[in-house]
Amino acid sequence: MNQKGKRKRFRDLSWTHKKQIFEGVFSRFTLDMGLFHGAALSFYLIFTLIPLLYLAVNVVGSIVGRATVTNVLNQYLIEYFGISDFSGILSFLESIKFGGDNVVFQNVGIVILLFSSSAIFISLKTSVNYFYGITPHFESGKKKFFVNLISRLISIALLGGFGVLLMAAYFAQLLFNSFGKAMLNNSVFISKFWLGVTQHGLSILLMMIFLTFVYRFLNDAIVKFRVALVGAFFASVLLQIGQFVIQYYMNVAYFAKSGSVISVILILLAFVYYGSQAIFIGASISAAYGELTNQPVISKYQPLENK
């Protein structure tokens, strides 16, 4: 087997092969299509943001404590999006109560909200399929229905998993902060450096874990774990870099000074619209890496004549 066919780790590839991977990325990713798919994700965010926040504050809050969830949301909104005031949208969420006082209606409402919130992941699945360069072909409408249903369930699982990751990262950051203050209080510079490294390191790790699962499972392709991991790593680093740029822009924008519902939505829309480009580039990297290392990304559902 030649060198191109070997299943090598990315770091073991020669510079020539790494160059071939990034050349392959731009044969799949174009800015026009990236922005097109980013606009689709932003559109779905409009309809899923309130259900997501409602589930986080009221449902998850009833389990781990509303104050804990509010603190987690505040930290991420301030550190990653530059939103300094979350009170407006909290007041709005407090005025909403799905199902009223009826427990059955409340549970039905939660299920409906979960399915509604998963819409953005279905849009993400379509985008990942595109940048993988695959088009699924279903044998029947029944097959397509069940595949879409499974995708919804995977999306809900990813939604819950991402929430768990956020909570875990929040408490891990608290531990790192406490360690830094206790052990490094003699040096302000080293203490700040430690806090910065742990904060951004946790952010990259969190996104890398989440995107690995997205690239591996939230699509209609057969994808090896290592292939998904390579794309997730680069996408996470690009997201972290892009977050600085987007946050700076949001901080100087007039609507970012307010904590109103509209300003929060506009900031998150901008982040999803531009930040999604990193996710699409990561998917393109995974596809190019898989092709070079004899682990190609192929559709699970191919036309009958190709089977």
| Structural domain boundaries in the chain | 13-306
Identify residue 151 by its one-letter amino acid code: S
Taking the CA atoms of residue 151, residue 156, residue 161 and residue 164 in that order, the dihedral angle to the nearest 10 degrees is 170
Pick the more confident residue, 221 or 167: 221
pLDDT tens for 131-168 read 999 988 888 888 888 988 898 888 888 888 888 888 88
Model confidence at 46: pLDDT above 50:
yes
Q: pTM, whole model, 2 decimals?
A: 0.83
Of the chain, the percentage scoring pLDDT greater than 70 comes to 82
Burial pattern 286-302, b for ≥16 Cβ within 10 A else e, equals bbbbbbbbebbbebebe
pLDDT given at position 307: 52
Q: What is the pLDDT of residues 170-213, one digit of tens each?
A: 788 778 777 777 766 666 677 777 777 888 888 899 999 999 99
What does the pLDDT look like over 225-254, one tens digit per residue?
Answer: 999 999 999 999 999 888 887 777 766 655
- Compute and round to an integer the Cα radius of gyration of the chain: 21
Question: Any alpha helices (H) in the chain, and if so which ranges?
Answer: 15-28, 31-54, 61-64, 66-81, 87-94, 103-117, 119-132, 141-183, 188-217, 225-252, 261-292
Mapping DSSP to helix (H, G, I), strand (E, B) and coil, where does residue 199 land? helix
Q: Which tokens go with 192?
A: 């700040």
pLDDT band at 16 (very low <50, low <70, confident <90, very high): confident
Q: Nearest Cα to 239, choosing from 286, 288, 287, 206?
A: 206
